[in-house]
Amino acid sequence: MIRFGVIGVDHRHIYHLIDGLLQAGAQCAGYLASASDAKVLEGVRSRFPQLRGVEDAAVLLEDPSIDLIVTAAIPSQRAGIAVQAMRHGKDVLADKPGVTDRAQLQQVQAAVRETGRRFAICFSERMIVPCVATARRLIAQGAIGDVVQTLGMGPHRLNAAIRPDWFFDISTYGGILVDIASHQIDQFLVLTGSSDAEIVHAAVGHVGHAGHATPPSFQDFGEVALRSRTNAARGYVRVDWFTPEGLPTWGDGRLFITGTEGSIELRKYLDIEGRSGTDHLFLCDRQGTRHIDCRDEPITFFQELVADVRDRTETALSHEHVFKVCSLALDADERARQGAAR
């Protein structure tokens, strides 16, 4: 049985990382019972009362029975935790972003080469969203021909009053394109079948929120345009922190996929004036248009990752893909900053 330990419970994404691994049959050996956000730590305790909290990360790092370290620490700390874990003989699963600057990416890449351990990032807006899995299956079946373009939108609710201080510090969260847009960059590469791409435009901004004193360095809007280096596909990404309070979920995540013979629209988290529930897919092809409820589409990421740890394979995702997404997100961030400086 694969055993995992948790170091870094600073972001709520840790809930689905732990739950996904448990559902996949892995066993949790414990979690480091400290966090920058006490509410998240309490959430782990209440959701997983059967799990053991430990006071020292060394307890988990030095346990030879642990195969995998999982982290949703403060984003700028995730790479350091990953490198330390790999040097202790553990594989790593990190929440996105796994790195927040170029030096961290190089350190993680070097640790992978030196240790032979695996480093994976959960890009949750693809990996745990059933309608994206359905879209991948339909594209593989030729439902819309060759993918020409993806348009991904990742709006989020700010919830400023409950955010920890690091959330607003660009040195710790890494910038909106590194943080949020990594999801859409991942989806662009996967859905277009691209192994490489280039950033042709990137911009970020601080618009500000009425009633919330967010610092000027906090990026609440970002956009990216991509071009595949391996086929003719292009992509556009828009991310922001402007989800209104009236929306009944944290963001109206949407993805449009244009193909040579049809199109797919995903409404991941809600259909704002229509059908109830999540995971709505709208397909338009030569036969007409139709809605597909994707909530029963199997999610296989965690099962595949557990098998990868056990069998030393790269089924869930490859290092090449992980590092390419990270590099492109950093490229976009650097291009946006250069544009802002002109």
Query: In the CATH scheme, what is the homologous superfamily, with its name and number, of domain 126-298+332-341?
Result: Dihydrodipicolinate Reductase; domain 2 (3.30.360.10)
Per-residue confidence (pLDDT) for residue 340, from 0 to 100: 63
Closest-CA residue to 93 (of 67, 62, 113): 67
Tokens of 317: 């995702």
Closest-CA residue to 234 (of 202, 210, 258, 251): 258
Per-residue confidence (pLDDT) for residue 122, from 0 to 100: 98
Per-residue confidence (pLDDT) for residue 91, from 0 to 100: 98
CA distances from 307 to 19, 65, 82 (A): 16, 16, 20
CA distances from 247 to 16, 243, 293 (A): 22, 7, 21
pLDDT tens, residue order, the chain (342 aa): 999 999 999 999 999 999 999 999 999 999 999 999 999 999 999 999 999 999 999 999 999 999 999 999 999 999 999 999 999 999 999 999 999 999 999 999 999 999 999 999 999 999 999 999 999 999 999 999 999 999 999 999 999 888 999 999 999 999 999 999 999 999 999 999 999 999 999 999 999 876 677 898 999 999 999 999 999 999 999 999 999 989 999 999 999 999 999 999 999 999 887 889 999 999 999 999 999 999 999 999 999 999 999 999 999 999 999 999 999 999 999 999 887 655
Per-residue confidence (pLDDT) for residue 213, from 0 to 100: 77
Cα angle 92, 93, 95 (rounded to 5 degrees) comes to 135
Whether CATH 3.40.50.720 fits 3-122: yes
Cα angle 281, 131, 271 (rounded to 5 degrees) comes to 50
**CB contact at 8 A, 181 and 237:** yes
**CB contact at 8 A, 192 and 147:** yes
Closest-CA residue to 239 (of 249, 254, 227, 228): 254
Per-residue confidence (pLDDT) for residue 312, from 0 to 100: 96
Per-residue confidence (pLDDT) for residue 274, from 0 to 100: 83
Helix 102-115 / helix 75-87 crossing angle, nearest 10 deg: 20
Rounded Cα distance, 174 and 259, in Å? 33
Q: How do the domains of the chain map onto residue ranges?
A: 3-122, 126-298+332-341
**CB contact at 8 A, 34 and 10:** no
Whether pTM > 0.85 for this model: the answer is yes
Task: Locate the DSSP E strands across 141-273.
Answer: 147-155, 197-205, 221-228, 234-240, 254-259, 263-267
Rounded Cα distance, 7 and 55, in Å? 10
Query: Position 162: which residue type?
Result: I
Cis-peptide, bond into residue 216, ω within 30° of zero: no
